[in-house]
């Protein structure tokens, strides 16, 4: 879990360096730093727990750190979504940054397609406001989960 947090922090750092909006970039860098810190703490706690006797307090500490990491990761992904919507500078071709940019561009296309379909929805309420369907907007979190599930099941 800790190494996955570090990988997501690297992803967020790449998005932040290529983000066109300074505020989004700063917020994302803050979330990335928090994720790196919590991920490092979780790694330390896990290594200590592995070599010490089983105790309820150490297990609770490990679970609490894992929960903190999940919150930090969610913050990184939310900030990365905002940065992707604002736009990214083109990265050098063939680099890891290019892969990240392609991933973000794909998500942004899916989001735009979803929003366009929602705008075409003619269902209106009594005030004339457009009703949204039950389908939520696509998120980076869902795409990351989908990609990680695919890599776990492939040989």
Distance of CA 83 to the CA centre of its chain: 11
CA-based Rg of the chain, rounded to a whole angstrom? 19
For residue 57, what pLDDT is reported? 82
Q: Among 35, 1, 27, which residue's Cα sits nearest to residue 80? A: 27
Is the per-residue pLDDT at 137 higher than 80?
Answer: no
In this structure, what CATH number is given to the domain that contains residue 72? 1.20.120
For residue 133, what pLDDT is reported? 64
For residue 6, what pLDDT is reported? 93
Residues 14-60: tens digit of each pLDDT: 999 999 999 999 999 999 999 999 999 999 999 888 888 787 888 89
Please state, rounded to an integer, the average pLDDT across all residues of the chain. 87
Q: What's the token pair of residue 48?
A: 């200590």
Tell me what the mean pLDDT of segment 72-96 comes to. Answer: 93
Residue numbers of the domain that contains 44: 2-153
For residue 121, what pLDDT is reported? 67
Q: What's the token pair of residue 90?
A: 């083109």
For residue 122, what pLDDT is reported? 65
For residue 58, what pLDDT is reported? 81
For residue 78, what pLDDT is reported? 94
For residue 154, what pLDDT is reported? 60
> Rounded to an integer, what distance in angstroms lies between the CA atom of residue 154 and that of residue 29?
32
Our count of domains for the chain comes to 1
**What pTM was estimated for this model as a whole?**
0.78
Please state whether 137 falls in left (phi above 0), alpha (psi between -120 and 50) or beta. beta
Tell me what the mean pLDDT of segment 127-139 comes to. Answer: 72
Q: What is the DSSP letter of 123?
A: -
Residues 106-119: tens digit of each pLDDT: 999 988 888 887 77
């Amino acid at each position: 879990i800790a190494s996955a947090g570090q990988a997501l922090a690297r992803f967020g750092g790449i998005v932040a360096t290529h983000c066109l909006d300074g505020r989004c970039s700063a917020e994302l860098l803050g979330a990335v730093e928090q994720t790196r810190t919590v991920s490092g703490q979780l790694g330390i706690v896990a290594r200590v727990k592995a070599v010490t006797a089983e105790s309820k307090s150490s297990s609770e500490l490990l679970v609490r750190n894992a929960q903190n990491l999940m919150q930090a990761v969610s913050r990184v992904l939310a900030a990365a979504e905002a940065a992707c919507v604002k736009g990214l500078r083109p990265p050098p071709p063939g680099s890891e940054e290019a892969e990240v940019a392609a991933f973000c561009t794909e998500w942004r296309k899916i989001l735009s397609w979803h929003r366009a379909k929602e705008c075409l929805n003619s269902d209106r309420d009594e005030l004339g406001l457009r009703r949204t369907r039950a389908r939520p907007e696509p998120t980076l979190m869902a795409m990351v989960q989908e990609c990680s599930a695919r890599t776990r099941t492939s040989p």
